[in-house]
Amino acid sequence: MIKLYDFPQSPNCQKVKLVLAEKDLSYETVFVDLMNNAQRSADFLRLNPYGKVPVLIDEDEVIYDSTIINEYLDDEYPHPPLMPTGSDERARARLFEDFADNSFMPQANVLATELSKAADQIDQERIQRYRSDLVRVLEFLDRHLEGKEYLVQEFSLADVAFVPRLLVLAPLGVTVPESLTNVMAWIERLGQRPSVQKLQHELTA
Ligand SMILES: N[C@@H](CCC(=O)N[C@@H](CS)C(=O)NCC(=O)O)C(=O)O
């Protein structure tokens, strides 16, 4: 059975769980206690030299990095497909995955870390800066989503890459401006997917 080395609060692990759910794949999780640096143990570093979750083991294959794991899952378990077929569209989907990894997830992660600090330790200027960064990303996505249901043709790994942090915009104190009607409709549409509902349920259970 597929094994996922997991830390449930990790957005990168959540990205992989969305794909496992979309493809209705059974898997077991191995909890990696990031709070106690289990990711730096020699055993774990043998699986992933970067010392980060997620790691996925499928039979003898050990794969790390959420984006690479998700593409592996889509290649190995092609139904339903989560990448477009044309090379232009596949490149565009990868650009969005990369954009999510570099321009959305890190900012959201910094914000979550800052907000988890004691009230007198919180850097309000930093919080405002990162909230504005996230809104700028949403504005960019809104322009791109004009006339579209999903980022690239059908629902794809490009959309998956954004879901974990889209689910927690409100707790991060980020309000989607009402003018961003395309983003609002996209978030609503994503929220109706059983894979996203399952993840939301797991996070609130
Ligand atoms: N590019 C990697 C990033 C993985 C990553 O940053 N994982 C975080 C959890 S979301 C982690 O394991 N952090 C522990 C650490 O850096 O020590 C991916 O997409 O999987």
Query: What is the pLDDT at residue 28?
Result: 98
3-12 pLDDT per residue, tens: 999 999 999 9
Q: Which atom of ligand 1 is nearest to the CA of 53?
A: 12
Q: CA 29, CA 53: separation in Å to the nearest integer?
A: 11
Q: CA 29, CA 12: separation in Å to the nearest integer?
A: 14
Task: Report which secondary-structure segment, H or E, holds 28.
Answer: strand 27-31
Q: CA 152, CA 83: separation in Å to the nearest integer?
A: 9
Question: For residue 30, what are its two tokens?
Answer: 């191995």
pLDDT-derived band at 134, boundaries 50, 70, 90:
very high
Q: Is the CB of 52 under 6 A from ligand 1?
A: yes
Our mutation pick for probing the ligand 1 site, out of 36, 53, 55, 73, counting the most ligand atoms within 8 A of Cβ, is 53
Atom 1 (ligand 1) nearest CA: 65
Interval between CA 178 and ligand 1 midpoint (Å): 32
Q: Is the CB of 53 under 6 A from ligand 1?
A: yes
Q: Supply the DSSP symbol for 156.
A: -
Closest by CA position to 160, among listed 28, 29, 23, 61: 23
14-24 pLDDT per residue, tens: 999 999 999 99
Tokens 């378990």, located at residue: 77
Q: Is the CB of 106 under 6 A from ligand 1?
A: no
Q: Supply the DSSP symbol for 39.
A: G
Query: What is the pLDDT at residue 103?
Result: 86
**Domains of the chain with CATH codes:** 2-76 (3.40.30.10), 87-204 (1.20.1050.10)
- Decide: pTM greater than 0.85: yes
Atom 5 (ligand 1) nearest CA: 52
Closest by CA position to 168, among listed 38, 2, 11: 11
